[in-house]
Amino acid sequence: MDAVIASLPEYWDGFLRTLYLSVISGIIALVVGTLLAAMRVSPVAALRGFSMFYVEVARNTPLTIIFFFAAIVLPRLGVKFEQFEVAAIIALSSYTAAFIAEAVRSGVNSVPVGQAEAARSVGMTFTQVLGFIVLPQAVRTVVPPLINILIALVKNSSVAGAFFVLELFGYGRQLSNDYGNQVLWILLGVAFFYLLITVPLGLLAHFVERKVAIAR
Amino acid sequence: MKSLITRRKSLLVAASAAIALSLSACGGGGSSTTPPVASASFEAGTTMAKLSEAKTIKIGTKFDQPLFGQKGLDGKPVGFDVEIGKAIAAKLGIAADKIEWVETVSQNRESFIEQGRVDLVIATYTINDARKEKVSFAGPYYEAGQALLVNKDDNSITKPEDVKGKKVCSVTGSTPAKTIAEKYGAEVVPAATYTACLEPLRNKQVVAVTTDNVILAGYVDKEPDAFKLASDQTFTKEPYGIGLKKDDTVFRNWINDQLEGFAKDGTYKKAWEATAGKVIKTAPELPAINRY
């Protein structure tokens, strides 16, 4: 226990880095994922095909391997980053985007076809139909799964600790090296700081869900 | 069809080349550096007498530490630790093929000695006070220390002062990581294992990898075209000793005498040159024996 208290500065540093990775990757993943979902329902066959290919490859590849590509293979191909955090964000957001795309797509499917047909009949373009009519309704129905994906993202960010980024998990490993006799407390401390991010996210999900839920 | 034939042919060529290589490797390893088996007699009741009588000895070593103790597919460990073990066995009148090699990893060395599962441990075994409470150490027979591994084409780094403010990869929280950060001001890139550090080094995302020269030399041995040691000099001291049963002072003193003998008659130098000396060019002097 005293090891945890003595290491609070390290925990805090790791906590901030985990939060940073999660927030930046989360924002990128939400944007890219929604774009991918839009491509998936678009009338252009090439876009549909690309989106399907990307989503299937990204969500069926283990995250560790995606990290390996981002942190080690990309630099080998000449794409170099000053900071390993960049590689971590690329890996996390490209992986999470695939799941977000699938969640948003399921939301789009839940919007009755009549909505889109009605919108088209008043002369809206595809972008307008999607942006003003379908997506706003779709997103409201998929708040719980979206938050689930973001919670998974926070936990997945621990993989970055194995790829040269000192976030919570990375510090956990360093502290277990320093205090070999208190590994249990060290790891409980790490878990506590993860809960500090994920539990509020879960509560937020409940709150948003009640606010925006639409009865169908 | 034609391409298939040529492919088969090239496979055959590759296979025979591999066989030739492994054969020549065998030939290389066969050049024994060990002194001839002595016909010695010892005072009754000593460990030496017992081992000499039994004509066999159990020596613990690492099986995964290239250049020091590594067991290949042929089942025979090779390396500097192994050569030292063979030389000591020879002085006891035990032939090299009568030595029983036991794998001792870092976590089990003390307990293996205490339980008598090995007579000696020669396994890149750093002498320190915590370990001295459980076992005794002869030696040191070699002084390892922290060093820097750099890319083969990088001549800008030769000493630890050269990495100030630059990125250096090491294992999270390890002693070498702390030394390079706190004493020499490097920016440490944390990795889970030292092997994981090799890719960022190859990609030039870090300028160096740091830990004990012994571990780094193993990487150079595997990929001499990619990496090199920044220098043969080390900047910390890790004295390696030979572990044996606690308070067997007679045996310890006898081993110490043998080590000094090896330094004088050239056995020590020959053992080095045949193994770790392939990467660490500067042959070490036998460190001053610590007769505590």
Instruction: Please provide the DSSP assignment of B123-146 as one string.
Output: SS-B--HHHHTTEEEEEEEEEE-E
Among the residue ranges A54-58, A152-156, B68-72, B103-107, the one predicted with the least confidence is B103-107
B169 touches chain A (CB under 8 A): yes
Distance CA B31, CA A16 (A): 58
A180 touches chain B (CB under 8 A): no
Q: What is the pLDDT of residues B127-140, one digit of tens each?
A: 988 889 999 999 89
| First CA to last CA distance, chain A | 51
* B15-34 per-residue burial string, b: 16 or more CB within 10 A, e: under 16: eeeeeeeeeeeeeeeeeebb
pLDDT at A192: 96
The widest CA-to-CA distance across chain B, in whole angstroms, is 75
Region A191-212: what's the mean pLDDT? 92
Distance CA B267, CA B149 (A): 29
B174 touches chain A (CB under 8 A): yes
pLDDT at B35: 61
Mean pLDDT across chain A:
93
Q: How many degrees, rounded to 5, is the angle at CA B247 between CA B242 and CA B253? A: 55
pLDDT at A98: 98
Taking 70 as the pLDDT cut, the residues of chain B under it are 1-36, 38-40
B36 contact partners, CB below 8 Å, separation of at least 6: B90
Determine the distance in angstroms separating the CA of B187 from the nearest CA of chain A, rounded to an integer.
12
112-151 in chain A: CB under 8 A from chain B: none
Q: Provide the CB-side half-sphere exposure for A158 (13 A, CA).
A: 16
Determine the distance in angstroms separating the CA of A157 from the nearest CA of chain B, rounded to an integer.
15
Region A38-62: what's the mean pLDDT? 96
Region A88-116: what's the mean pLDDT? 96
- Contact assessment for residue B149 and residue B169, using Cβ atoms and an 8 Å cutoff: no
Q: Which of B187, B203, B211 to mutate to test the interface with A (most CBs of A within 10 A)?
A: B203
- Alpha carbon B7 to chain centroid distance? 40
Interface size A-B, in CB pairs within 8 Å, comes to 42
3-state secondary structure of B189: strand
Which residues are B148's β-sheet partners?
B210
A173 touches chain B (CB under 8 A): yes
Which residues are B135's β-sheet partners?
B245
H helix or E strand, kind and range, residue B64: strand B64-65
Order the strands of the B187-191 sheet from edge to edge: B187-191, B167-171, B208-212, B146-151, B227-229
Q: Which residue of B has its CA nearest to A75?
A: B203
Distance CA B289, CA B292 (A): 9
